[in-house]
Amino acid sequence: MKRKWLIFTFLFLSGYIFLITITFVYNNSLEKDFNEFSTSLENNKYSELVDSKGNMIVYNQEKYEAWVDLGFMKSRNDFKKNKYLLNQRFSDDEIETIKFLKWGTYDTYEEAYIDLGILNKYARIYPVTHRVYNELFSLDLLIGKTNRTTYGIEPFLLENGILNSQKTISLSIDLKMQQIAYEELLNTVKKESAEGGIVVVMESKTGKIKSSVSLYPWNIAYMGYIEPGSTLKPLLISTALDEHIINPNDKFYSGYEYYPTGKKNFKVTESQGYGMGEVGLRETLTYSSNIAIAQIMEKILEEFSNQWLYQKLLTYGFGKKTGIEFKGEINGVVPYPDDWYEITPFQIALGQGIGITPIQLISAFNVIPNDGKYVKPTFLEVKEISERQVISEPTAKIVKEWLSYTVTEGTARKAYKEGLRIGGKTGTAQKAESGIGYIEGSYYSLFVGFYPVVDPIYTAVVVIDNPKEEFYGGEVAAPVLTNIFYRYSKEKESSAFDNQKVFYQDIMPDLIGYPITEAHNILLNLGIKEKNLIITGNGNTVVSQSVPPYKYLSDQEIIQLHTID
């Protein structure tokens, strides 16, 4: 009897040890596979990005991902018996050749575990951090995405060690102004059958970018260049005044045509098709006289060299990156004087022959409304102002005053609106292609302006690409800026949105963390029907929502809010 008991005990212990060994090998093999795989999962907790008023632009969302190890399942010869489960969600093509299969993403660990069911023994559940991006109003082309795009604010912040330096980073962008700028630009691009457009709005004193909209597949405000056209005239006049090459009372004669080199190799005419007669500096800017600015360039060249002119252009920030927090910014093109022809300075006077980015243009032009100081542009709400004096304050003030007449009686009269005083300069730049030259009938319509005229708060640039109806900057681009500032100022007067979150019609808000009663009222105020709302859980705080934030809502969309205490 004792012998039988010893044999039984030996067999039992051997079987137990065998099961433990098999389980260990089984789990160890599975664990090893998943340990190697888990390093590839997205779990970086970078800083969240908010606008200047605290509205979310990019935030971190804590989730759980369930992954099934199909390689391990196949090695255990269990693939065939589980294939019917896998095929409920995935086709044969999707599961035949991969090793790891993402089963789903969940708000809680429990949801993932329950959903996996019998697949749990081949699976692992991981906590992950998802970056959720507000991509409305062309923000996607501005913000970019870490490890996914080679351009944008976020990749710049990551590359420079800023994105993981704090929990929240406040950007200078104002989402309300971004929305208005996007809508006004889009309306004009559609109305004019244009190929695209750009708007950038900057705080004049600080250089903070409040709005940046691009209606292109890529953001040419920082990654592309254009010829500035007549928007360069105020800077050239400011430089000539500051150097006492001309004085405020000088007069110039605008005839039918003008040859600044004294030869027939370069002819200058007025865009109106006729001469203006005698014009002063104010009229040169107000009516955008090409002949007067060519004569001013002649005076500059009488006293200074091409090298001096080149250095002045660099002083305004042309030909080099502004250094704004945007990965992908380019230098633009300002040819070195050794490559200039006799006519090149006069081409530059007309805003031709150089390529500048819109962010360079607005930063340089801002010297005038900012009392002669160049301020470095920035996307950060909290940052020390970096500025330098480029022209004297008296020169800046007088040129700023002259530019106010552009809207009231000059080339930007279509931008005039009662009670809204805007100054600025129009420009119309013929488009060019490498190896081809200027393209007949193809233009950029430009307006660079500031608001209000007295003690400016904002400086802005508008670019409309190849409009088909009208093409002069004053006809097409200037009214966009007026409409932006008019709508923004009116909405600011009529609602105290400065310290409130911004919500948009037909766009799902981010309600996580809100009291359920407040979240419910927000949705009703946005026009969501009561019958389309489902509230689950027995708590007071929203912890998840069925529709992701910033997604466009359809009329019949069902929205579920889940709550906990």
At 186-231, the pLDDT tens digits run: 999 999 999 999 999 999 999 999 999 999 988 999 999 999 999 9
Token pair for 171 = 């950007």
Residues 134 and 281 in one domain: no
Give the count of domains, the chain: 4
Q: Considering only CA atoms, which of 410, 432, 449 is closest in space to residue 352?
A: 432
More confident residue, 459 or 499: 459
Confidence band for 545, pLDDT divided at 50, 70 and 90: confident
* Higher per-residue confidence, 549 vs 450: 450
- State residue 531's pLDDT score: 77
Planar angle of CA 138, 377, 135, nearest 5 degrees = 15
Residue 313: is its pLDDT beyond 70? yes
Residue 541 pLDDT exceeds 60: yes
Last residue of a domain, one of 112, 142, 170: 170
pLDDT score, position 274: 84
What does the block give as tokens for 133? 């991006």
pTM of the entire predicted model? 0.80
**297 — phi, psi (to 5°)?**
-65, -35
Percent of the chain scored above 70 by pLDDT? 88
Residues 198 and 323 reside in one and the same domain: yes
Q: Is residue 15 very low, low, confident or very high in pLDDT (cuts 50, 70, 90)?
A: low
Check residues 124 and 21 and name the one with the higher pLDDT: 124
329, pLDDT greater than 50: yes
Is residue 250, in this structure, part of any structural domain at all?
yes
Residue 25's pLDDT is what?
Answer: 46
Mean per-residue pLDDT over the chain, rounded: 86
- Asked whether residue 82 is domain-assigned, the answer is yes
User: Which residue range is the domain that position 151 belongs to?
Assistant: 49-170
Q: 96 with 199, same domain?
A: no
* Per-residue confidence (pLDDT) for residue 93, from 0 to 100: 87
- Given a cut of 60, whether residue 270 has pLDDT beyond it is yes
d(CA 271, CA 171): 41
Whether 516 is covered by a domain: the verdict is yes
Are residues 403 and 459 in contact, defined by beta-carbon separation less than 8 angstroms? no
**pLDDT, average across residues 8-20:** 55
Provide the pLDDT confidence category of residue 4 given band limits of 50, 70 and 90: low
Distance CA 282, CA 287 (A): 9
Helix segments in 121-170, DSSP class H: 139-143, 153-159
Contact in structure between 106 and 64 (CB atoms under 8 Å): yes
**Which of 43-52, 194-203, 221-230, 313-322 has the weakest average pLDDT?**
43-52
Angstrom distance (rounded) from CA 75 to CA 71: 6
pLDDT for res 139: 92
Instruction: Say if residue 531 is in the same domain as residue 512.
Output: yes
Q: What is the pLDDT of residue 200?
A: 97
Average pLDDT estimate for 472-483: 85
Residue 157 has pLDDT above 50, yes or no: yes
Same domain, 353 and 412: yes
In a domain, 44, yes or no: no
155 and 247 assigned to the same domain? no
What is the domain-level CATH number for residue 515? 3.30.10.20
Question: Once rounded to an integer, what is the mean pLDDT over residues 407-429?
Answer: 87
Whether 501 maps to a domain, the answer reads no
Exposed, middle or buried, 301 (CB in 10 Å: 0-12/13-18/19+)?
A: middle
Q: What distances in angstroms separate CA 480 from CA 19, 224, 297, 555, one per listed residue?
A: 76, 21, 31, 31
Q: Decide if 434 is inside a domain.
A: yes
Name the band, by pLDDT with cuts 50, 70 and 90, for residue 520: confident
Please tell me whether residues 99 and 246 are part of one structural domain.
no
Q: Give the chain's largest Cα–Cα span.
A: 130
Task: Return the top range by mean pLDDT from 50-64, 389-403, 476-490, 512-526.
Answer: 389-403
Whether 367 maps to a domain, the answer reads yes
In a shared domain, residues 467 and 527: no
**Residue 244 and residue 165 share a domain:** no
Which residue, of 170, 198, 213, is where some domain finishes? 170
Based on the fold, state whether residues 375 and 488 are members of the same structural domain. yes
- The tokens for 379 are 């996307």
pLDDT of the residue at 202: 97
Q: pLDDT confidence of 543, banded at 50, 70, 90?
A: confident
The mean per-residue pLDDT over the stretch 153-180 comes to: 92
Whole-number Cα distances in Å, 146 to 136, 158, 163, 219: 18, 7, 10, 16
338-376, pLDDT tens digit by residue? 999 999 999 999 999 999 999 999 999 999 999 999 999
- Say if residue 214 is in the same domain as residue 144: no
Residue 36 in domain: no
C-alpha torsion sign, points 209, 213, 219, 225: negative
Domain termination residue (choose one: 142, 170, 198): 170
pLDDT of residue 537: 78
Could you tell me which residue, 327 or 38, shows the higher pLDDT?
327
Instruction: State whether 142 and 205 are in the same domain.
Output: no
CATH number at residue 401: 3.40.710.10
**Distance between CA atoms of residues 211 and 145, nearest Å:** 19
pLDDT surpasses 90 at 290 = yes
- 449-473 burial, b for 16+ CB within 10 Å, e for fewer? bbbbbeebebbbbbbbbbbeebbbb
